[in-house]
Chain A
Amino acid sequence: MPTRELPEKSEITIIGGGIVGVTIAHELAKRGEEVTVIEKRFIGSGSTFRCGTGIRQQFNDEANVQVMKRSVELWKKYSEEYGFPFQQTGYLFLLYDDEEVETFKRNIAIQNKFGVPTRLITPEEAKEIVPLLDISEVVAASWNPTDGKASPFHSTAKFALHAEEFGAKLVEYTEVKDFIIENGEIKGLKTSRGTIKTGIVVNATNAWAKLINAMAGIRTKIPIEPYKHQAVITQPIKKGSVKPMVISFRYGHAYLTQTSHGGIIGGVGYEEGPTYDLNPTYEFLREVSYYFTKIIPALRELLILRTWAGYYAKTPDSNPAIGKIEELSDYYIAAGFSGHGFMMAPAVAEMVADLITKGKTDLPAWWYDPYRFERGELRGKALQMG
């Protein structure tokens, strides 16, 4: 793991060493740019450390479907090149009534339009995929076998390692304290370990994004707030018992799957905030157990080993803010991922690197326009899990 000294200067500085900051650095370094990541703890230590593993293309709007299609291509490419596990074990949305089915038919049509091969399947087909499911109330399911899961910490570590090989500098245990700005231009950053001269800054701090925006003196309204979401893990059971990510909106907006170690991991929609508190609650323990055992009755007899909490950095429409902030040159933001940032990271990295190096991107970055909040142009709410 990298723990470099703070360099004196860097063309581009990324604040935040989570999956998003690291993949952006990786992409920029690969393109030959001089880039430094400044992380206040260790690489992957924030929400990435606490994340639920899922990677899906089943969104309900054209932009997110396209971005995630690209992201999955990149997950596949880099997992093979760098040797970290990305398993395409699919995402299975359980549907319980006609209204849900109609909504998902619309979503599937959008997904199919961009080549994401989602299908509406029968309850019996769903049970073939996950034999432990209780399908007595399920009327259909939305199934895409090309969605998947990866270990957030291991994949971040691999991207970090290769970013370094391309020349990126990753500085851990260093906290950004202030911006040095002259005539509306960034000249450098003050940190807990000295000053770095830099002209281009990317705010990739997600849950802490508003603090960095405030430090930079940004006046544009970019509402990103930290919410406490929690997760649970059970004792490990036979591998392959729950291959895909299983989603049930009916039962508490639950998501659950099996980790590579064998435990059943997941969460529900139970949300508290805005808050920076991360203490797991008893209410979550009760809720998650109630809902999970409805979806998979065999979980009743499994031991819960641990619960924990992390942040969803939420925006009003559950879509991130990605783009250039014009009032300060050159300041970019890639934050507010609202619970699905891990899966988006490789494509977001490409988008941000395009914007910095070419000023434009083929991916639909306009959807994540940081100015949309101020303009009152909220997007359709991105499908948020948990």
Chain B
Amino acid sequence: MRPLDLTEKDPSKKITIYLDGEPYEAYEGEKFPVAMLANGVYWLTTSNEGRHRGAFTFGPVPVTVNGVKNINGRKLKLKDGMKIERQRYDEFQEQVEIDEGKPVLRYVVDVAVIGAGPAGLGVVEEIGGKLTVALIEEKGWLGGDMWLKGVEQEGFGNPREAIERLTNFPENVRVFLKTAALGVYDKGEYFLVPAVRNDQLIEFMAKKVVLATGAVDNIMLFENNDWPGVFRRADALEVMNVWGVAPGRKVAVTGAFPEEITAELERWGIEYIIVPNVKRVEGEDRIERVIDENGNVYEVDALIMADGRIPDINPITQAGGKLRFKRGYYMPILDDEHRIRDGIYVAGSAVSIKPHYANYLEGKLVGAYILREFGYESEPCIYEERLKEYEPVARPVPKLPLDNFNGEDVQICGCGVTLKKVDDVVRSGITDLQIIKRLTHLAMGFCQGRFCLFNGALLVSQRSGMGMDRLDIPVARPPIKNVKMKVVAGRD
């Protein structure tokens, strides 16, 4: 077993790969960052400012694979003998193969469901068999965030068994895994949802669209928060429960919701310590220690941020939805049938933060509304009633200890934007996030603000005294997920 393996891997799939010429043990089909982590290697790429970065928090992970630059290391599946080199963010492949690309695939369906977490699965369970459905999921698995869990989930019991029960789909449900939806475009008669799978463009034409697009882990602000060894909660869960690899031998957990990760760490027997107020992390090519606001030093290999999730607002605003600030986060404004506008529904943690089972019920509810629209008998009120038993989680609005930080070491955005840069602009009196974006490049990178806009708003609110509800949050522009130009360049 490799140093951080938690489980025995299939020996017939054992391969050797090379990172900057050094050989490492890996397994066929394993993702590159997971294999490197199992070997104890956290540093995988370097930002334009020369900062070392790993793959488990924000920012892109471009690597050079067998001499070809700018390959997304996060999604790279390993093959025997693969030669991988670290590179800087701005290196790119100048010589490229020119081909006609793959033909566009087109599907006409009644409903396009974007996201296959408990909410998306709830929708499909409700409408499958009656309506034709395209279930579009960016990840390689069904079940969303719940698939990452090992411990029992309220209402569901064993999470994996529950997902297996929910994924016995009828024939008129088509499932598209590893398929990233680029946005929702209103074409009048139907909604167009273009998506990308394996460099192929797929166009879904749907009468109704459900955004079951989930929530994202909040990125916490502290010094060197981009350093290799910093994990978002979801990434830590994924390496343990999907890949059987530990985030580290000894890890620190921080954030307002440490219990979301500690039960899983205990299940695997990984030693951990809770550090509530992280000021700084330090180390060479990975975290070696965590320092809190009181100056206490903790020697660890990794730090997991468990600060709660916030709805991913990008798919919502791109599709034309409006937002409000409630319970500590921005959430979509819905009509009385869970729509942001005619024909576009939202369900699950994209609406509000609550247990997986409640998100599933909300999916069922949206499914019931849609059935009714198509002229079927359905009883949404049953789900409405049951959903009322789950009060969404209120997330405390964090207070940033702005004046205790060295703002130059705190990364607010994965693309090299420091807290200081944004803070300087805000302190000069600019509180409009549109202007802040333009002046600092906040929310203009690879994640389009998914991991930094909330913190930007928080900073403005804290410095200016304006309530979070009064800030004008910039809307997401298509494509809501990055797409290679060649994928959309083809002509029919």
Give chain A's interface residues, CB within 8 Å of chain B.
1, 3, 42, 45, 49, 131-132, 153-154, 234-239, 241, 261-262, 279-282, 285-286, 289-290, 292-293, 297-308
Give chain B's interface residues, CB within 8 Å of chain A.
48, 60, 70, 89-96, 98, 182-183, 185, 192, 194, 320, 415, 428-430, 432, 434-435, 438-439, 441, 444-446, 448, 477-479, 482-491
A289 with B90: CB separation less than 8 A:
no
B438 with A299: CB separation less than 8 A:
no
Task: Please give 20 more A-B residue pairs, beta carbons under 8 A apart, in addition to A298-B92, A303-B485, A304-B483.
Answer: A236-B89, A238-B92, A280-B478, A282-B185, A282-B478, A285-B182, A286-B488, A289-B489, A290-B489, A290-B490, A292-B485, A301-B93, A302-B70, A302-B484, A303-B484, A304-B479, A305-B445, A305-B448, A307-B478, A307-B479
Q: CB-CB < 8 A to B435: which residues of A? A: 1, 42
Interface of B is mostly: loop
Q: CB-CB < 8 A to B445: which residues of A? A: 305
A303 with B489: CB separation less than 8 A:
no
Number of A-B contacts (CB under 8 A): 114
Closest B residue to A237 using CB positions: B92
- The 8 A-B pairs of least Cβ separation, nearest first, read A300-B486, A289-B489, A303-B482, A289-B488, A237-B92, A293-B489, A289-B485, A282-B185
Closest A residue to B430 using CB positions: A1
Q: How far is the CB of B446 from chain A (nearest CB, A)?
A: 7
Q: CB-CB < 8 A to A304: which residues of B? A: 479, 482-485, 488
Closest A residue to B429 using CB positions: A1
Given contacts A235-B60, A305-B448, whether A262 and B90 have CB atoms under 8 Å apart is yes
8 contacts between A and B (CB under 8 A): A1-B429, A1-B430, A3-B429, A42-B434, A280-B477, A293-B486, A293-B489, A298-B94
Q: CB-CB < 8 A to A282: which residues of B? A: 183, 185, 192, 194, 478
Query: Which residue of B183, B432, B484 is within 8 Å of A300 (Cβ)?
Result: B484
Q: CB-CB < 8 A to B415: which residues of A? A: 236
Q: CB-CB < 8 A to B489: which residues of A? A: 286, 289-290, 292-293, 300
Per the bound structure, the CA–CA distance linking A53 and B82 in Å amounts to 42
Q: CB-CB < 8 A to B60: which residues of A? A: 235
Per the bound structure, the CA–CA distance linking A234 and B444 in Å amounts to 10
Q: CB-CB < 8 A to B486: which residues of A? A: 289, 293, 300-301
Given contacts A235-B60, A301-B96, A306-B444, whether A285 and B482 have CB atoms under 8 Å apart is no
Per the bound structure, the CA–CA distance linking A285 and B429 in Å amounts to 36
Closest B residue to A289 using CB positions: B489
Query: Which residue of A45, A132, A302 is within 8 Å of B485 (Cβ)?
Result: A302
Given contacts A237-B90, A297-B98, whether A45 and B434 have CB atoms under 8 Å apart is yes
Q: How far is the CB of A51 from chain B (nearest CB, A)?
A: 12
Per the bound structure, the CA–CA distance linking A115 and B434 in Å amounts to 40
Given contacts A42-B432, A280-B477, A306-B444, whether A301 and B70 have CB atoms under 8 Å apart is yes
Q: CB-CB < 8 A to A308: which residues of B? A: 477
Q: CB-CB < 8 A to A302: which residues of B? A: 70, 92, 484-485
A300 with B448: CB separation less than 8 A:
no
Q: CB-CB < 8 A to B438: which residues of A? A: 49, 153
Q: How far is the CB of B229 from chain A (nearest CB, A)?
A: 25
B98 with A300: CB separation less than 8 A:
yes
Closest B residue to A172 using CB positions: B432
Per the bound structure, the CA–CA distance linking A235 and B62 in Å amounts to 11
B485 with A234: CB separation less than 8 A:
yes
Per the bound structure, the CA–CA distance linking A132 and B429 in Å amounts to 42
A297 with B96: CB separation less than 8 A:
yes
Q: How far is the CB of A234 from chain B (nearest CB, A)?
A: 7
Closest A residue to B489 using CB positions: A289
Per the bound structure, the CA–CA distance linking A262 and B478 in Å amounts to 20
